Structure 1
Amino acid sequence: MDERTYGYTTDVRYRDLDPRGHVNHVVYVSYMEQAKGAFLEDVVGVTLDEVNTVVRSLDVDYERSIESGQQVTVDLRVESVGETSFTITYRLNADGDEVATARTVSVLLDEEGSRVRSPSAGDGGSRSTAAAGERSYRRTRSNRRP
C-alpha cells in the first residue's frame, strides 16, 4: 500500500454468497462502493449522500472467486481528477490474494443533474475529492465483525 492508497476491510456475509458458496460477482462492486463511502467520510469529510455523483463507467477484471469465511480488503486510490469527473482504481484481495481489479469514472452533478466542475478547478475545497487525490492519505478502515 503506498501513501495515496486507502484500505477498507470487511468480512464476507452469508447474503453475499451465491448457491455455490462463492461471492456473487455483483457483490465485488458493492465492496468497492463501501470502500468509496468510507474513503469519502474518512479522507474527504463528506458522505456518499452529500456528494452528487453518478458512475459513468465501471470496469472490473475478476481474477478468482471469494468464498465464505474470507476477509476482503479493498485498496483504492484516486487516479485522476478532471474538470467534471474523477477516476478511482481498486484492488480487491481475499485473505491476502488478489481477486479483482477495477476502475470507476464518476461524474459530478448539480441538483438538476447537469455536470459541474470539480473543486480542483480553483475553488480550493479541502473537503473535495480533488484535494484528497493530491495528498497522502494512507489509512485503513475495518468493517469486520468482532
Structure 2
Amino acid sequence: MSGKVFEYSLQVRWSDSDRLGHVNNTRFVEYLQEARAHFITQVLMEAVGSRGATVVRRLTVDFLRPIFDESGPLVIEVSILRIGRTSFQVKQRVLDVSGALCAEAEAVMVAFDLESQTPRVLTDREKSVLAEYEIAG
C-alpha cells in the first residue's frame, strides 16, 4: 500500500444550487461520479491500456456540511480501500475551497464484461495500478 490519493478539482456550477441556496445532495452524487470517472480514465485505463467497463454496485454518502456557490473550487479525493477478485472499494472525500470536509463516500465498483453483461475478474495489472492508491480503511 503506497496510499496515493487522486485529486479531482471541480467548480460549483450556478445550476447546482437549490432554492435553499446550497448545492443539492443529488449534485454531490454527480460530483462523486465525475471524480470516479476521471480516476478510472486517467489512472486505471491509461496505465492498463484497456477500455474495460466498471459499474457501481453500492454507493454510500455521508453529507457532513453544505456546499454553496462560493465553496468552490472543490477537491474530490479518490483512494482505494479494498481490492477483490472482481471488484474494488473506492473511498472519496469532498473538500471545499477552505479544505473543510463536506462529504465522505464509499463505492463498490465491479469490473464488468459488456458482452456477457456479467462481472469479470480484475487483471493483475489492474490490481497493481489500484494498489498504488490503496489506503488503510
- Provide TM-score, normalisation by structure 1: 0.78
Give the equivalent residue in structure 2 for 1:41: 41
What secondary structure does 2:68 align onto?
Answer: coil
Do residues 100 (structure 1) and 103 (structure 2) align?
yes
> Counterparts of 1:11-30 in structure 2 under 5 Å?
11-30=11-30
Indicate conservation of the 8 Å contact 2:113/2:119, yes or no.
yes
Indicate conservation of the 8 Å contact 1:11/1:69, yes or no.
no
Give the equivalent residue in structure 1 for 2:131: 134
What secondary structure does 1:109 align onto?
Answer: strand
Give the equivalent residue in structure 2 for 1:74: 76
Q: Could you tell which deviates more after superposition, 59-68 or 69-78?
A: 69-78
Gaps of at least 5 residues in structure 2 are none
| Amino acid paired to 2:66 | S
Give the equivalent residue in structure 1 for 2:65: 64
Select which of 112, 118, 121 maps to 1:117: 121
Gaps of at least 5 residues in structure 1 are 138-146
Distance, in Å, in 2 between the alignment partners of 1:9 and 1:74 is 6
Aligned-residue sequence identity (percent) comes to 27
Distance, in Å, in 1 between the alignment partners of 2:129 and 2:24 is 31
Count matched residues: 127
TM-aligned CA deviation for residue 7 of structure 1: 0.6
TM-aligned CA deviation for residue 29 of structure 1: 1.3
Indicate conservation of the 8 Å contact 1:4/1:133, yes or no.
no
TM-aligned CA deviation for residue 10 of structure 1: 1.0
Q: 1:25 to 1:51 in 2, by over 3 A?
A: farther
Indicate conservation of the 8 Å contact 1:78/1:133, yes or no.
yes
Do residues 31 (structure 1) and 31 (structure 2) align?
yes
TM-aligned CA deviation for residue 136 of structure 1: 5.8
- Provide TM-score, normalisation by structure 2: 0.83
Distance, in Å, in 1 between the alignment partners of 2:129 and 2:56 is 18
| Amino acid paired to 1:114 | T
Give the equivalent residue in structure 2 for 1:141: none
